[in-house]
Every structure is written in C-alpha cells, then in structure tokens.
Structure 1
Amino acid sequence: MMIRRNSIVTKLWLTILVLVSVILFIVSVLMLEFFNSFHIDQERGHLAKLGGQVQSVLLNEGDTSQTIDQIIEVYGANYILENGTTRSNFGNQVDGLMVELERQDWETYQAVGETAIGNFSSFDDQAALAYRTTFSLSTGQYTLYLFEPLDAISSANAGARTIILWTVASAIIVTTVFAFFLSTRITAPLRAMRDAVNKTGEGQFDLRLETKTRDEIGELAASFNAMSSQLSKYVNALDRERLQLASILRSMADGVITLDRHANVIVTNPQASPLLQDGQPHEVVLSLYEEVMEGTSEKTIEVKQDERYYTLTVTPLVGEDDFEGAVVVIRDTSESHRLDKMRTDFVANISHELRTPLVTLQGYSEAIIDGITESDEATKEFASIIYDESLRLARLVNDLLDLARIESGKETMHFTSFDIGDFLPRVMRKFNQMASEKEIRLQTDAPHRLIEADGDRLEQVFTNLIGNAIAHTDSGEIRIEATEETDGLRIQLTDTGHGIPKEDLPFVFERFYKADKARTSGSKTGTGIGLAIVKNVVDAHHGKVSVSSTLGVGTTFEIYLPFEQPHNS
C-alpha cells in the first residue's frame, strides 16, 4: 500500500509520533532532573551527617585532627576546619580554595541547607558539593567546610540517561509501529468510502459499505449506504422518466427539438430529423429561435422543406430571471396540404363530372321541349341520351355514397365464409359478352379454399377491376390468379392493356383518377372513383392492394386478403 505524503494516514501517524516524542522528551528531562536532584540531596544528607559527627568529636574529644581525618576518610570527603588556624586534608591547595569559598553567597545557601555546588580548582575545575557549618565550643568558634566531588553523581546520571534514552528510543519505535497500525486501521474504512464515492460518481449506485463498528466511522458508513440507496432510487426514477420521455418523443407524430440558451440541441426525436443538419438545427429553426430569444414569446411559422410542409412552433423556456432555451415543435402538415388539395380537386372534379351530364340533360331536354326534333326517331334518340346520362349521374352519386359510407366506417361488412375457387369464375363470367366483343380472353386460376369476406363488396371490387381492365385493353388476355399463403390469399389480376405511366401509379386509388391524367380513353361510363372504392373495401377486409404497370405491356393489380377476419370486425 503506497502512502501519500498528504494522506490522512501520514498526518495521523506523524501527529501521534510527534505528540508521543514530545511527551517522552519532557518526561525524560524531568526524570533526569529528578535523578540528579535525588543524588545531590543524598550527598547533602551525607555531608550534613558527617558535619554533625565532626562537631560531636570536637565537642567530646577536643580538637583532635587525627580523629577528624579518620572520620572524614571513611566518607571519602575533604574538609577544611577553621578556628583561627586552618586544618585540611587538601594540602597546599587550601589557600586558593579558601578564596573561592569566601566568594560563595552562604547567606543564600543557608536557606537550602548550607550547601553549595560549583566548580572548584582543588577538584581540577570539576563540579563538587560544598557544605559549611559553624558551631561554638569552649575552645572557640569553628567553621567546618566539607567537600564531595560529583563524579559519582555524574556517572549515575549518565547511566540513568543512557537507560532513559534507550527506553525513549524503544518507545518511539513501538509508538511508530502502533501509530501506523492505528492510523491505517482508522483510515481503511475512509479509503473504502473514498473508493465507493468515486465509483458512485461513475454511476455504480449499488455499492454498500460494511459497518463493523458503531463509532463515528460506522455511522458515516451507514449514512453513505443510506445515501447510496436513495441515490439509486432517484437515479432509477430519473432513468425511468428519461426512458418514458424518450418513448413518448419517439411515439409522437410531431418532431421535438429542445435547445439550450446557446442553441445547442439537448433533446430531439427522429421526427425532427428533416429540420436537423448534422445534429444541428436548420437555419430556419435558428432564425425563429433568435426571434423568440429577443421577444421571449411563442412564435409559429410554416415552412416548406424538401417538398414537404412543416409548421414550427417555438416556445421559450424562461427561468427565474433569464432565458434558458426553447422547445421547437415540428408538425408535418404535408398530409393536411395534400388533403386540402384533394378537397379542392374533388370539388373541381365533381363539378366537372356533374356538369357534363347536367348540361347534356339540359340541352337535349330543351330541344325536346322546344320541338326542335324533326321526327319521332330524333326525339327517341334524344330521350335515350337523356336516359343514359341520368344513369351515369345515378352511378356517380351511388359510388360517391358508397365511398363515403366505407371511409366513414358506417358501412357494415357482412362477413361470411365462401369458396374463392367458385367465387372468382362466377364474377368473371359476367364479363364474357363484353370481352368477346373486344376479342379478349378471360382466364381464372383459383384454389378451392374457404375465405371469410363480405361477398357483395368483394364482388364489387373485382367487378370494378375487371371492368377497368376490359375498358383499357383492346385485345389480348385478362387473367385472375389466386395463390394460398400462410395466413391469407394473394390474388393477381393481370391485363395486356395500355398500361399506366409510372408517375401516375401513386395516384390510381384516388378519387376521380380517370378525370386526371391516365386512362382517359375507352368507355365513357366510368365514374373515376371505382379504384378508390376498391382500396377502401380491401382495407375494410384488413387486406392490402397494390398496382404495377408498364406502358404498352399491361397492368397487374395485386390483392392480399386474410383467410379469417379479426373477431372484433
């Protein structure tokens, strides 16, 4: 484990080590001072005792130098006895020593036991303990000086100092190990918390710390676990909301772009892609965004992009004090424009389709009323034309009513089961006479398979398709072929007629297709909404219809019908 210089382990370890070292230093100094004072006090006691014995000898035995020398020699001390004359065991050094003694402040020493400690020349300038006492005898006034070198005390202190230093060193080593162990033990949970916090910051919210102790660190670990649990709940809730928002945005029909205050895209959905360039808003969006940012009010415009129409609504996002961004809602109004155009075209086409027979009816009826006809044959011919046009007008109205009922869902389909292999040939036989007149062969190939459908409406579908095929085929063949698939029946009606231009194929199932660009030749009995009825009837059967064609080769209509209709149909 690598310990950093600024880590808690290092700081705690150094703090304990410095604190213990300071305490040990203070204790060592106090102990050394105590030992030194203790030894000096002992020597003072010895000298005081020796002084008392010398005083007793002088009092009891008189001034006997030999006896004094013997007593002092036992204690290993030196002395000076002064009574007018000076006696000492110092030899020739006594004069110099007396000078030094006279310099001592004995009045001060009196308070501490009439002893003095100093460096005396008689002891080679080494420390010695001096003791002075004065007493009176019958023989006169005596002053006794006793001296004890401090070599023994220094040796004892040196030994004690060595022992203390070794003890302190050992204590510091033990303290170092213990402090390191203690600091690592204390900081191990903190390091675990640090790692857990870092991983939580990376998104791992399922981490939990062990709470082995009940102290502050244990409480901190428990608090972290509670916080991590709450964060996990909040993040999961945010993830769910984010997924819900993303799902809502994807399922919306409208495009949505959320921009921040710098016009950067924050949120978008696939429907907004037509007005995004490399992930950035289109110029028209940015222009409208700037207008909203300046006025902080909602703006709506309609734009045309790639042949499609879009309505843009930009709503500002305003915080407490400032503009925070905007939400752009993009609605594709191309279908609305197409429906508007269809409605316009429908009105124009229906007006044209109605005006032609009405003008014809009006013209011929006026001719009959005015007696313009010159013979009964002419009158009969005019009446026949009026009758044909009225039938055409009735078919147009009926087809429009049928189409309106089917598209509105008000037309109820009566589903029954019948054999498609019998149904298709029967419908085809109705056109034998018309086909033979134009030298067209009619062919049918269908399996005997039950299908659930509205027979009348399905017959209307194939009647329209076969009628259109005959009307736009001069000669050749019209063939209906049905094949079984897994869940339904695929029926193809193919003719060898004129064909339909490729650019007109997307519009063949629209109302009044005949009145527009294609299939303008042939029978004038068509209403132009037959294929629109075909598509709506097939859709009502939960099927599909499509067309493919090649000019000069022919056209194929393909219908897919399920074998069974959903139960709620």
Structure 2
Amino acid sequence: MQRKILLTYIILIVVTVIFSVGLSWSRINNYFFERVEKETITISDMLHKAMEDSDLSKEDYQSFIEEYSEITTFRITLIDQSGHVWVDSYSDAETMDNHANRPEVRKALAGEKSSEMRYSNTMKKYFFYYARPLENAEFSGIIRVSLSVSEIEAITTDMIFIILISAILGSLIAMGAAYVVTQRFMKPINDLTRVAKVISEGNYDEKIYMDRNDQIGELATAFNTMTFNLKINMWTLEQKNAELESILTSMSNGLVAVNMDYKIVLYNDRFTKLLNLPEEDMSNRLIYELIRELSIFDIIEKAIEEKTYMSGEAIIHKDGEDCIIEIVATPIFSKTNKNKALATLLMFTDVTQMRKLENIRREFVSNVTHELKTPLTSIKGFVDTLKNGAIKDEIVANRFLDIIDIETDRLSNLIQDILTLSEIETLVGERSLQAFELSEIVDEVMDILPKDKEGVQLIIEVEENLPSFECNRDRMKQLLINIIDNSIKYTDAGYVKLQVFKYKNFLNIIVEDTGIGIKHQHLSRIFERFYRVDKGRTRKTGGTGLGLSIVKHIVELYNGDIDIQSEEGKGTTISIRLPY
C-alpha cells in the first residue's frame, strides 16, 4: 500500500511539473514574441515617421539604417514598389533577390501593415518581419523591420532550463517529503497489519499502542477493543465447542448432521465405529459416498424431502455379523423461519443386543408358560379323572395321586429355579461372602446327590490343602449340584468325575462324564434358559431346563468363565474357573 501511495504522489508531482514547465514555456514564449512584436512595430513607426518627410539620397538612407540598426539590433530594409531591395542594414542590396513575393512585402505593397515569422533565405535563419508602406520625395515602397528569432529562442530556452532545473529539484524535495509523509502515515497501518496477522494466528493478547488523537488513534483503540471482544467470543466459542465435542464423544449413539445437499456437516466417532467406516475426515462429503444401505437412504431422503421426523431399522454386516441399527431422522429448522429446514440430524443406535434380549424375553415367557402349563394340565386332568369316579378305585387313585405329586414337585422345582435365576440376574456382585473349605461343600453336595445310579461311578477328586474360597455357601452348593446332577442324568454307563483344584490363582472345577454327549450345533445354546438337547429325556428325568443357565449366571457373578466340550456318544466336560 505504501508503494502505491508513494507512486501516486510521484505521478502527481511529475504530471504537475510537466504541466507547469509546459505552461511556463508557452507563456514565456508568447510573452517574448509579443514584446518583440511590439518593439518591432514601435521601431517601424519611429523609422516611418523619421523617413516620411525626409529627402535623403540612397547613400544617406544606407548610412541611416545601418546606424539605426546597430543601435537597435533590428534589421532594416527598404524595398521599392517593384520588390527590389533598395537598401538593407545587414546585406548588400545589389546581391539580394527580389522580395515582391515575400508575404509581408506583398501585403505592405498593397497598402497594409503586415507581420510575419518565417525563414530568411538571405540570412539562413528565422526572422520576425514587420512591413508597412513608406512614401516620400525620394522613395516609394515599404519599410521592413525584422529581428532574428534565434535570440528570442535562446532567451526562452535559458529560462525554461532554469525553470526545469528548479522543477526537478522541487520534485525531488516533494518526493522526499512524500516518502516521509507516507512513512509516517503507513506506520500505524503497518502496525495494524502486523497485529492483525498475529491475531489471525490465534494470539489475541497482542495490542496496538498509539499516542494519537486523530482517526488513526481512534482506529487503534477500536481495533484493541475488537481484539478483546474477539478473545472473549473465541474463548466462549471454544468452550461451547469443547462441550459439544465432549457430548458427541461420550454419546453411545452414532450422530451425524446432513445438510439439504446430502453433505455431512457434523458427526461423532461413534457414528464411524457403528457403521464400520474408515477413520478419516468425512466433513463436507456426500452421505452416499459412505453408506451403501438402501433402507438408510430411504429414511434420510424422506426426512429431507418431507421435512418431518422419520425412523426405521437397517441390518448392517459388521465384523462378520449382522447388526440391527435403528435410525432416527429429525429435521433442523431455522430459528427465524420455522418452515426452512437447514439440515437433518440422524441418530444411529445399535439395537442388536436389545432385539436379542427381546427375543430371549419372548422365548422365556413362551417357555415358562409352556413349562408351567404342562404339569398344571397333567394335574388338572388327573384331578378331573379322580372326581369322575376313579377315586373309588384305590389302586388307580393312588397311581394318579403319585403322578400328581410328581408333577407338583416338578412345578415347585421350576418355580424355584425361575426365582433363583431371577435373583442371580438382579445381583451386581455376590453378597454374604465368607471363606469356606471347598472340600466341606463338596461333601455336603455328595450327601444330597444320588449315588446309586446303576452302571455309573461317581469319582470325586479335591486337591489336598486347597485354600479356602470366599463365596456364598448356598450358591456354590447349587452350582455343584446342578452340573453334577446334570451329568448323572445324561450318563447311562461309565463315570462322572468331579475335580476341584487351584491353578494360577484360579479355582478350577471340572466335571467330566461318559454320557450321551451333545451335538456340536447345540453347544453354543446349551446355557440358554429352557434349552434342551433331548426334551423327552429332560422331562423323564424331571429337569426344568434352567440348571445350566443358573450355573452360568453364578459363574458370571464371581467374574469367572465356563467352558463346555462335548462329543456325541462319548461324553461331556464342563470346566469352570473362578478367580481367588
């Protein structure tokens, strides 16, 4: 900017100097020529008056004009009516050409007073001529007075040179002054520019200090105030951005805002992870470039086009599994114009686990209903039979009452297992923990379990000097009873072996049997509620279908893990690890 201002000053100075010199030259030139013209006319009038009444001879005229020419420095010429030079103060009249065709001579011979500036062939330079008629006793013609222009040009040239030198010196001084003025003028502007650059880099503490009372000083004060306000606003904005970033980061749902051109305006990390998108900047990218699921497109397009709330679900394949994603699209409207949609906010929620839990709940309700209905139906059928007269037959009545008793026990066991499972699921951690000897708990379990199943040997191996384990005694007994009783029920020949030992700071409980085994496709669901591999055998042995599910929940209550290995026709091994 300083260069532009300085260059503008220089151009103005140069143009002014050129105009001034040109105008001065024109005025000086005109002035001198006007002076010459006036002096020439004056000299001509004086000579005319002096010669008008004289009766001098030609020789006397020659002497007179030569003397007068020497005094005045003017060239004086007398020309007769035929155009011949009669006498001349500068040249020999006999050798001069006929002047009848000279413009000023021709007009003067015609009786006019005439002035001309032209080149003289005789003197070989420019002259100013003034001619007028002259009549006396001895001469009839014209008198012409002239002066060399070169002398005038020399004077004007000298003066113009002096003016030009003065103008150049003045211009240089003016340019120097312009440079100093622009420097002083640009210094506060340069300071403002420097500070503005520093502020643009994020340093809002920079200030401008100027001891001036003019507009520049006011500008500096306003700039400092603006910087302070900008600092406050930026701090507030950073705080809000940090809060928004924290909210978006901490959200368990995926969030993305899409403008009316389907370009991403805002998103959080959960959105990229939920849809298994690459970790790169997705701002201002089309949503179509990132998501390929048509059902999601339908929801987005309807929400944007219809400017209304939309929701739906889509199935996305991620990490080798199908995930159910719930999408909620909500239009964002302008505060000033409630009918103008600015963008659409999309909320993505992984509801896969929720849907699985809903399915489990439905299956649980269905299974519980079925399991409760079966013994109740049996009980009701036998009661109706007894009421209809079978009670009179003692043998039949006793058999029916035995069946009713068995079904009642089965119903009681089912309800107890459901209550137990419900209790365990609601616990966050085990309560009433005490250190117990596992060998004592195992002995108590052995006293409860049947040991007289024909063809099945029960083997107990508990590590000697096994450290006490902190647990709920009843819960640990229930765990052992369920897995051992389950192995006994499904083993027709061979053995059921219980091993309890400590390994790497874990209590290990292993139950191995040589029973019927489990097909591989059933192993992943064996711990589900009411899941039975052989439903007929389970009902025959009086199982509720909740035993292994209870075992799994007890293991998880102690932050342990459970594993099952089985081969159909060869047996099953259940391994439990509980941390000390």
Q: State the secondary structure of the residue aligned to 2:574.
A: strand
2: CA distance between counterparts of 1:124 and 1:372?
Answer: 178
2: CA distance between counterparts of 1:518 and 1:170?
Answer: 120
Q: In the TM superposition, what is the alpha-carbon distance from 1:211 to its structure 2 partner?
A: 6.2
Q: Specify the code of the residue in structure 2 equivalent to 1:147.
A: S
2: CA distance between counterparts of 1:361 and 1:35?
Answer: 147
2: CA distance between counterparts of 1:385 and 1:98?
Answer: 166
Q: In the TM superposition, what is the alpha-carbon distance from 1:427 to its structure 2 partner?
A: 1.5
Query: Within 5 A, what are the aligned runs for 1:404-443?
Result: 404-409=422-427, 414-416=431-433, 418-419=434-435, 422=437, 424-432=438-446, 434=449, 437=452, 438-443=456-461
CA 1:128/1:283 → structure 2, altered by over 3 Å: closer, same or farther?
Answer: same
2: CA distance between counterparts of 1:364 and 1:442?
Answer: 46
Q: Is the 8 A contact 1:265 1:281 kept in 2?
A: no
Q: State the secondary structure of the residue aligned to 1:510.
A: coil
In structure 1, the gaps of 5 or more residues are 1-7, 135-142, 564-569
2: CA distance between counterparts of 1:412 and 1:478?
Answer: 26
- Aligned pair partner of 1:286 in 286, 297, 300: 297
Q: In the TM superposition, what is the alpha-carbon distance from 1:350 to its structure 2 partner?
A: 3.0
2: CA distance between counterparts of 1:397 and 1:38?
Answer: 134
Q: Specify the code of the residue in structure 2 equivalent to 1:251.
A: S
Counterpart residue number, 2:282? none
Q: Is the 8 A contact 1:78 1:146 kept in 2?
A: yes
Q: Specify the code of the residue in structure 2 equivalent to 1:534.
A: V
1: CA distance between counterparts of 2:169 and 2:564?
Answer: 103
Query: Greater shift after overlay, 152-161 or 265-274?
Result: 265-274
Counterpart residue number, 1:535? 552
- Aligned pair partner of 1:243 in 242, 245, 267: 245
Aligned residues: 520
Q: TM-score, normalised by structure 1?
A: 0.66
Counterpart residue number, 2:462? 444
2: CA distance between counterparts of 1:178 and 1:99?
Answer: 56
CA displacement 1:91-128 (0-9 Å, x = unmatched): 526984997656679xxx9xxxx995622748647433
Q: Is the 8 A contact 2:500 2:507 kept in 1?
A: no
Q: Is the 8 A contact 1:47 1:131 kept in 2?
A: yes
- Aligned pair partner of 1:28 in 21, 24, 35: 21
Counterpart residue number, 1:370? 392
Q: Is the 8 A contact 2:120 2:127 kept in 1?
A: no
Q: State the secondary structure of the residue aligned to 1:373.
A: helix
Q: State the secondary structure of the residue aligned to 1:475.
A: strand
Counterpart residue number, 2:150? 151
Q: State the secondary structure of the residue aligned to 2:127.
A: strand
Q: In the TM superposition, what is the alpha-carbon distance from 1:475 to its structure 2 partner?
A: 0.6
CA displacement 1:41-64 (0-9 Å, x = unmatched): 776797799889989999xxx998
Q: Specify the code of the residue in structure 2 equivalent to 1:247.
A: T
1:77 aligns with 2:74: yes
2: CA distance between counterparts of 1:9 and 1:501?
Answer: 91
Q: Specify the code of the residue in structure 1 equivalent to 2:565.
A: S
1: CA distance between counterparts of 2:458 and 2:202?
Answer: 78
Q: Is the 8 A contact 2:489 2:541 kept in 1?
A: no
Q: In the TM superposition, what is the alpha-carbon distance from 1:479 to its structure 2 partner?
A: 0.9
Q: In the TM superposition, what is the alpha-carbon distance from 1:443 to its structure 2 partner?
A: 1.1
2: CA distance between counterparts of 1:366 and 1:274?
Answer: 67
Q: Is the 8 A contact 1:490 1:559 kept in 2?
A: yes
1: CA distance between counterparts of 2:519 and 2:41?
Answer: 144
CA 1:335/1:397 → structure 2, altered by over 3 Å: closer, same or farther?
Answer: closer
CA 1:355/1:479 → structure 2, altered by over 3 Å: closer, same or farther?
Answer: farther
Q: In the TM superposition, what is the alpha-carbon distance from 1:550 to its structure 2 partner?
A: 1.8
Counterpart residue number, 2:561? 545
Q: State the secondary structure of the residue aligned to 2:357.
A: helix
Query: Within 5 A, what are the aligned runs for 1:47-446?
Result: 69-70=66-67, 72-79=69-76, 89-90=89-90, 91-92=92-93, 96=99, 118-119=117-118, 121=120, 124=123, 126-129=125-128, 146-159=145-158, 215=216, 236=238, 240=242, 243-244=245-246, 246-247=248-249, 251-252=252-253, 269-270=271-272, 273=275, 279-287=290-298, 297-300=308-311, 313=328, 315=330, 329=347, 332=351, 333-352=355-374, 354-355=376-377, 369-373=391-395, 389-409=407-427, 414-416=431-433, 418-419=434-435, 422=437, 424-432=438-446, 434=449, 437=452, 438-445=456-463
Query: Greater shift after overlay, 155-164 or 361-370?
Result: 361-370
Q: In the TM superposition, what is the alpha-carbon distance from 1:556 to its structure 2 partner?
A: 2.0
Q: Specify the code of the residue in structure 2 equivalent to 1:79.
A: I
CA 1:403/1:157 → structure 2, altered by over 3 Å: closer, same or farther?
Answer: same
- Aligned pair partner of 1:461 in 476, 479, 482: 479
Q: Is the 8 A contact 1:206 1:232 kept in 2?
A: no
CA displacement 1:475-517 (0-9 Å, x = unmatched): 15221233344xxx45332313434433333333333234x64
Q: In the TM superposition, what is the alpha-carbon distance from 1:442 to its structure 2 partner?
A: 0.8
1: CA distance between counterparts of 2:429 and 2:531?
Answer: 26
Q: TM-score, normalised by structure 2?
A: 0.65
CA 1:395/1:327 → structure 2, altered by over 3 Å: closer, same or farther?
Answer: same
Q: Specify the code of the residue in structure 2 equivalent to 1:428.
A: V
CA 1:104/1:328 → structure 2, altered by over 3 Å: closer, same or farther?
Answer: same
Counterpart residue number, 1:139? none
Q: Is the 8 A contact 2:484 2:496 kept in 1?
A: no
2: CA distance between counterparts of 1:542 and 1:278?
Answer: 47
Q: In the TM superposition, what is the alpha-carbon distance from 1:426 to its structure 2 partner?
A: 1.2
1: CA distance between counterparts of 2:300 and 2:224?
Answer: 49
1:505 aligns with 2:523: yes
Query: Within 5 A, what are the aligned runs for 1:32-43?
Result: 32-37=25-30, 39-40=32-33
Counterpart residue number, 1:567? none
1: CA distance between counterparts of 2:389 and 2:563?
Answer: 45
Q: State the secondary structure of the residue aligned to 1:479.
A: strand
- Report the aligned-residue RMSD: 6.0
Counterpart residue number, 2:136? none
Q: In the TM superposition, what is the alpha-carbon distance from 1:180 to its structure 2 partner?
A: 11
Identity rate of aligned residues, in percent? 14
Q: Specify the code of the residue in structure 1 equivalent to 2:297.
A: L
Q: State the secondary structure of the residue aligned to 1:430.
A: helix
Query: Greater shift after overlay, 221-230 or 158-167?
Result: 221-230
- Aligned pair partner of 1:496 in 499, 513, 516: 513
Q: Is the 8 A contact 2:328 2:346 kept in 1?
A: yes
Q: State the secondary structure of the residue aligned to 1:448.
A: coil
Q: Specify the code of the residue in structure 1 equivalent to 2:291.
A: Q
